[in-house]
Amino acid sequence: MHPPVLAELRDAVHERRPALEQLSLDLHGTPETRFEEHYAVEQLAGRLAGAGFEVDKGVAGLPTAFSATHRGAASGDAATGTAPDAPTIALLLEYDALPGIGHGCGHNLIAAGGLTAALAVAAVRPDHPGTLKVIGTPGEEGGGGKILMLERGVFRDVDAALMFHPADRGLRARHALAASHLRLTFHGVAAHAAKSPWDGRSAAAAAQLFLTAVDSLRQFMPPTARVHGIIADGGAAPNVVPDRTEVDIYVREATSAALDALLPRVLAAAEGAALATGTTVEHTETAPRYAERENNMVLADRLAEHAAALGLLLEPPSPANPAGSSDIGNVSVVVPTIHPYVQICDRDTPGHSAQMREAARGTRAHDATETIAAALAALALELLTDPALLAAAREEFTTSAHHASPGQESR
C-alpha cells in the first residue's frame, strides 16, 4: 500500500477517535453477556447504517448477530451488483462481556476498533472494487456465536476475515487451543444429612470426587492440555444430601485430534466418580466445539508491516506465548483469517481479570485501538484492491492442513 493511502486511513481513523472512545466506554459501562448483547448491537448497527452500510440484524437466527455491507461504487454493474471475481473482506466484531467481571477481555475495544476501521475504508475509498462486510459475532465467551454463524452460511462469500484482540503483549499471531465446553450432571438420592444420610447418595460427593480425579490425571496429560471447571450447582441446603449437582468444565488441547483423545479420559473420570458414589452422570456440550486457530501469516505479516509504519510493534508468534481458545478458530479453517493481539496494559497482566477490565477503558488501550484500527483498515483496503495479496493469502491457506467445518466449503 502506498504511504499516502495509509496516511489517509490513519487520518480518517484519527478523525473518528472521539467517537471510537465514546463507543468503547459506552459498551464497557454496559456489559452484556453472551447472546444478550442487545444494547451493543443497537449501538454498532446504528452507526454502520448511518454511514451508509446495509445492515441486516438477527442473522443466522441469532438476535444479537448482524451483518453490515458496503459495496464499493466500482464493485460491479447495476445488473449483478458486484463483479463475479470482486472480493468480499470481512471485519469481525466481538462485544460480549464476561459474567461477573464485565469487559475483562476487552471486547469493547474489538467492537469500537473494528467498526472504526470499516468506517475509515468506506470514507477514504467509497469506490473500492469489492464488498466490505462488518460481521457482528455474539457469544464468543463460551457461546460459539461464530460457529453457529459459520454453519448457517454467514461466512459463505467471505474471502478473508480480519479482527484483533487486546492483550498484555503485541503479537501478529498466536496459537489457540481446541476446546470442548462440557456440563456434567450427577444424579443421586436425597436424604436427611443428619438423621439418615445412609439413605442418600450424594451428587455433591460425586462432583467433588470427579474434580479430584481430574487433578490426578493432570500429571499424565500432555503439557498442552488444559482442563478446568467449576461446580455450577452443588446442592440446595447443608442438611439435605444433594441429589443433583452440575459441573461446568472446559477441556482444551493444542489440536482437535488431541482433544478427541483427551475427552474420553475426562469422561471416564466422571463415570468412575459416579460409580464410586452410587450416583449416575450424564454430559452435554454447552457450546459448539472450538477448533484450533489457523493463522494466515501472509495477512498477519502484512498487517504487522502496516502497524509498524504507524508505530505499533506486533511481535512474531512464539510457542512461549500462552494460548486460550476462541470460536474464530472455526472460521480460520474455512477462510483465511487473522487474529492479532494488541498490547493495552503491562506485560503479564492476567486476562479475564479486573485488571484487564480496567485497562480496557484506559487511554493506553484506546491509543492502541486507534492504531490497530488504521492498520486493519489498510489491510482490508489492500485486499479489496490488490488481487495479488489475496491470491497469496489463498495460496497459503490452500497449502496448509485446513479442514472445512461441516456444511462449509473452503474458500
Query: Which DSSP string corresponds to 221-264?
Result: S-TT-EEEEEEEE--S-TTB--SEEEEEEEEEESSHHHHHHHHH
> For residue 256, what are the domain limits?
178-285
State whether 62 and 136 are in the same domain: yes
State whether 295 and 279 are in the same domain: no
Instruction: Assess contact for 176 and 293: CB atoms under 8 A.
Output: yes
Mean local confidence (pLDDT), 220-227: 96
Band the pLDDT of 107: cuts 50, 70, 90.
very high
pLDDT for res 75: 61
Residue 81 pLDDT > 90: no
Greater model confidence, 355 or 403: 355
User: Could you say which DSSP state residue 199 is in?
Assistant: G
Which of 176, 249, 250, 254 lies closest to 222, judged by CA? 254
pLDDT for res 78: 41
pLDDT, mean over the chain: 94
State whether 197 and 311 are in the same domain: no
State whether 230 and 133 are in the same domain: no
State whether 223 and 257 are in the same domain: yes
Lowest mean per-residue pLDDT among 33-37, 73-77, 282-286:
73-77
In a domain, 405, yes or no: no
In a domain, 407, yes or no: no
State whether 57 and 168 are in the same domain: yes
Domain closes at, from 252, 285, 318: 285
Give the count of domains, the chain.
2
Band the pLDDT of 409: cuts 50, 70, 90.
very low
State whether 186 and 273 are in the same domain: yes
Residues 6+ apart with CB under 8 A from 224: 177, 253, 254, 258
- 248: CATH: 3.30.70.360
Please state, in angstroms and as integers, the Cα–Cα distance from residue 331 to each residue in 127, 214, 257, 353, 407, following that order: 28, 31, 17, 26, 13
Q: What is the CA radius of gyration of the chain?
A: 23
Residue 79 pLDDT > 60: no
Distance (Å, whole) CA 3 – CA 71: 24
In a domain, 44, yes or no: yes
Give residue 219's identity as a one-letter amino acid code.
Q
In a domain, 410, yes or no: no
SS3 at position 298: helix
pLDDT for res 1: 64
Mean local confidence (pLDDT), 108-136: 98
Count of CA atoms in the C-beta half-sphere (13 A) of 350:
4
State whether 247 and 301 are in the same domain: no
pLDDT for res 85: 82
- 123: CATH: 3.40.630.10
pLDDT for res 91: 98
User: How is 49-103 classified by DSSP, letter by letter?
Assistant: HHTT-EEEESGGG-TT-EEEEEE-TTS--TTTSS-TT--EEEEEE----BTTTBS
Mean local confidence (pLDDT), 250-264: 97
Residue 406 pLDDT > 90: no
Residue 225 pLDDT > 60: yes
Helices and strands in the chain: count of H runs, count of E runs: 12, 12
Q: What confidence tens digit (pLDDT) does each residue in 236-254 have?
A: 999 999 999 999 999 999 9
Mean local confidence (pLDDT), 213-234: 96
In a domain, 408, yes or no: no
Q: How many CB atoms are closer than 10 A to CB 186?
A: 29
Domain closes at, from 285, 303, 331: 285
Residues 6+ apart with CB under 8 A from 318: none
Q: How many CB atoms are closer than 10 A to CB 352?
A: 13
Band the pLDDT of 320: cuts 50, 70, 90.
confident
In a domain, 270, yes or no: yes
State whether 125 and 34 are in the same domain: yes
State whether 168 and 280 are in the same domain: no
pLDDT for res 323: 86
State whether 165 and 56 are in the same domain: yes
Residue 96 pLDDT > 80: yes
